[in-house]
Structure 1
Amino acid sequence: MSNNPKRRLSADILQTDLDCITALKAIDGYAPSNPADTLAAIAELQTRVSAAEERELHAANAYAAARNDAILLQKERHERVKSIKNQVRAQFGNDSNEVAAIGLKKSSERKAPKRRSQAEGNGV
């Protein structure tokens, strides 16, 4: 087992711990010398673990919802920006300074397409 306090225990270990606690409840006469090992103490600790796991689940669900909201809003913004670019092209023309100002190439700055020879077109 890792000594890293932030590393999670495996599902097998967690289930084994729960099985041990369940079995401990059926043992008559269990009287540990350490008060932290009493059935009442472990039951209280299990309650705290369950509450922490529930808080973690709610936080994970909230994170997933917030992430989905952010993604949807980013996509919506991207669609608006594409529309804005089209509007600038339509209003000012493809060769305008306004088109360059929003990060697009002017049509006059584009290279003219080069013709391929017959040999290049056949992949030879």
Structure 2
Amino acid sequence: MAQNEKVPVKSEQLEEDTDAYDNLLLVKGYSPRLEEFSIEMVTALKDKLDLAERNLNQTEKRVKEERQNLIAAQWAFHNSILGCKGQVISQFGVDSNEIQSLGLKKKSDYRPRKRKVKTDKKTA
């Protein structure tokens, strides 16, 4: 029986099991002593496996779609905030307390550039 039922079965093993199941359906006169290994029980488990795989695939597809919706909503919100910051700058100016409250620096908070002193390097 199974060694560790907490980890998924490898895909190669599942392929082998599916092939064995298909071949088991072709065996004439198969009648196990234990009912849990009957064709009906094994078929029910195979159907349960197929349904679980289908549900997982559909759920993964929905998760991808919702992730894309989330990303689109994030960018729409981000672009809206950038637009609001631009509107606050145009309405109140680049040196206002209002733009500072939005996380931007006032123009007067930046250090002024230092002028470069030109030196004459003419030699005769």
Q: TM-score range by the shorter chain?
A: 0.7 to 0.9
Residue in structure 2 matched with residue 90 of structure 1 by the alignment = 90
- Which amino acid is 2:4 matched to? N
Cα-Cα RMSD: 2.2
Partners of 1:8 and 1:114 in 2: CA distance:
66
TM-score, structure 2 length as denominator? 0.84
Tell me by how many angstroms 1:30 deviates: 1.7
Partners of 2:5 and 2:112 in 1: CA distance:
61
Tell me by how many angstroms 1:80 deviates: 0.6
Tell me by how many angstroms 1:112 deviates: 2.7
Structure 1 residues not aligned, in runs of 5+: 118-124
Relative to structure 1, is the Cα distance of residues 31 and 106 closer, same or farther in structure 2, using a 3 angstrom cutoff? same
Residue in structure 1 matched with residue 120 of structure 2 by the alignment = none
- DSSP 3-state at the match of 1:9: coil
Dislocated runs of 4+, deviation >4 Å: 114-117
Relative to structure 1, is the Cα distance of residues 64 and 101 closer, same or farther in structure 2, using a 3 angstrom cutoff? same
Relative to structure 1, is the Cα distance of residues 22 and 116 closer, same or farther in structure 2, using a 3 angstrom cutoff? farther
TM-score, structure 1 length as denominator? 0.84
Residue in structure 2 matched with residue 34 of structure 1 by the alignment = 34
Relative to structure 1, is the Cα distance of residues 48 and 89 closer, same or farther in structure 2, using a 3 angstrom cutoff? same
